[in-house]
Amino acid sequence: MKYVVSKIIFTNGSQDLWRRASKQVSSESSNAINPSYIISCHNCGHGSDLRGCPQFPSAPEGSSKSCSSPDAVEKVRHEMIQQIDLWLAECHAIGKSSI
C-alpha cells in the first residue's frame, strides 16, 4: 500500500489487532516524514499511546503505569512530541518567511 500524505504519526501497540491495517514502517521522502512506532509490551493494545494499558474510561489522562513496559510507552510519547514540535517549528518558520 502506498501513502501520499505528510505529517502523520502512526502508532501501534504490539498487541493491537488493528496494527496490521496501519502503517508499520516509517517513510521519508523529499517533502514528507511519516514516522511509525510500535510500542512493545504484552498488554499494549489499540490506543496504548494515548490511553495507557489496559484502557479504562476512568483513566482519561492516559497513564502508562499499567503497561507491562511503561518506559516503552513513554519513549514513543516523547518521540511523538519531538516530531510534532519539529513540524510546528517548520510551520512557524514558513509563516515568518512569507511576511
What are the tens digits of pLDDT across the range 36-68?
A: 898 988 888 888 887 777 766 666 566 788 888
The three three-digit cell numbers of residue 34, written as one number:
511519516
Is residue 3 situated within a structural domain? no
Instruction: Specify the number of domains making up the chain.
Output: 1
Q: What is the pLDDT of residues 1-34, one digit of tens each?
A: 676 667 889 889 888 888 888 888 887 765 567 8
Is residue 34 situated within a structural domain? yes
Is residue 71 situated within a structural domain? yes
| pLDDT score, position 44 | 85
Mean pLDDT to the nearest integer, 75-84: 92
Is residue 4 situated within a structural domain? no
Higher pLDDT, 33 or 84: 84
Q: Helix (H, G, I), strand (E, B), or coil: what is residue 81?
A: helix
Q: How many CA atoms lie within 13 A of 96 on its CB side?
A: 6
Which residues constitute the domain of residue 84?
10-97
Give Cβ neighbours of residue 70 (< 8 Å, ≥ 6 apart). 64
The three three-digit cell numbers of residue 28, written as one number:
521519508
